[in-house]
Amino acid sequence: MKNQVLVSTGALIGRPNGRDYRLLKEFARQLDCDGFEFMMYSDWYEKIPDIVEFLRANGISTPLYHCQKSIGEGISKGGEDFEKAIENFRINAQMAHDIGAGKMVMHLWDGITSDAFFDNNIKAYPIVREIADACGVELLIENVVCNQKDPMTHWSELAKLFPDIKFIFDTKMAAFHGQLELLYDPANEWLWKEGHIRHYHVNDYAGGIKDWANLRTLPIGAGHIDFERFFAFVRSTGYEEHFTLESTAFNKEGVVDIEMLNRQVECVKENRPC
């Protein structure tokens, strides 16, 4: 059985090509994926009505929405930053609904502050969950890198407090903390047996544990993650939904390597390394 594969719009659109969302029309025609994970940027808020209309008018499928990343940083900082972050999350959740996304990814903590004030992140979860539920979108918390503890510790903390919480597992983020093996550990089978992991991000990693200089989003095969084992395990758990490919595909001039991305998509569809 072939996997269904989404491509992150963040792999296609960035500063080098002017963060021009209109490029998606041509990319959708050229790529062999099953849709996109839409990545929200901080400078797109005033463009939201235009982006929603563009995606709808061009029939661009976006089953998954990725919140603006720095919302998590604002939550971590607390105070006025916390309140602004919640306001921005509300906007993101509505946009996710409006573009037809059934799920939305969130960095509950992020940035330099990261998990330094985790009580703020715990405080925020029921608030953002209620907002997402009201918009009819399933909220997924990502195993984002930490500078104090580690993602698995925080996932466990959150699951004890909020037993129905849902997660998205990112291969690079896990490998950065040396926690990819924890996915396969029987002690953590609660993650999939109880239905907590609802989606997977796939991208490679070439550094060591907490190797900040090498925290880059690499194509599958450009790092040391064992994707043959990863795909075999995930399929053994009964997971049959999408994977999101996050391999950065644009160069310094903003030109996107469509051929490379299509090779990556085919690898993920066929449950194999590239």
Residue 11 and residue 261 in contact, taking contact as beta carbons nearer than 8 Å: yes
Instruction: Please state, rounded to an integer, the average pLDDT across all residues of the chain.
Output: 96
pLDDT of residue 223: 95
pLDDT digits (tens, 9 = 90+) for 242-252: 999 998 899 99
Q: How confident is the model at residue 129 (pLDDT cuts 50, 70, 90)?
A: very high
pLDDT digits (tens, 9 = 90+) for 81-118: 999 999 999 999 999 999 999 999 999 999 999 999 99
pLDDT digits (tens, 9 = 90+) for 37-65: 999 999 999 999 999 999 999 999 999 99
pLDDT digits (tens, 9 = 90+) for 133-147: 999 999 999 999 999
Answer whether residue 144 is part of any domain.
Answer: yes
Q: What is the pTM of this model?
A: 0.97
pLDDT of residue 94: 98
Answer whether residue 121 is part of any domain.
Answer: yes
Q: In the block, which residue shows the tokens 């959708």?
A: 28
Answer whether residue 149 is part of any domain.
Answer: yes
Answer whether residue 274 is part of any domain.
Answer: no
- Give residues with Cβ within 8 angstroms of 224, minimum separation 6: 175, 204, 205, 206
CA distances from 188 to 155, 181, 184, 242, 271 (A): 11, 10, 7, 22, 22
Report the number of distinct structural domains present in the chain: 1
Is residue 1 scored above 90 in pLDDT?
A: no
**Alpha-carbon gap, residue 272 to 274, rounded angstroms:** 7
Is residue 160 scored above 90 in pLDDT?
A: yes
Answer whether residue 175 is part of any domain.
Answer: yes
Answer whether residue 148 is part of any domain.
Answer: yes
Is residue 273 scored above 90 in pLDDT?
A: no
The mean per-residue pLDDT over the stretch 131-160 comes to 98
Answer whether residue 93 is part of any domain.
Answer: yes
Q: How confident is the model at residue 228 (pLDDT cuts 50, 70, 90)?
A: very high
Is residue 271 scored above 90 in pLDDT?
A: no
Answer whether residue 142 is part of any domain.
Answer: yes
pLDDT of residue 2: 79
The mean per-residue pLDDT over the stretch 206-214 comes to 96
- Residue 25 structural domain: 4-269
Q: What is the CATH number of the domain that holds 158?
A: 3.20.20.150
- Give residues with Cβ within 8 angstroms of 13, minimum separation 6: 19, 20, 21, 23, 24, 39, 250
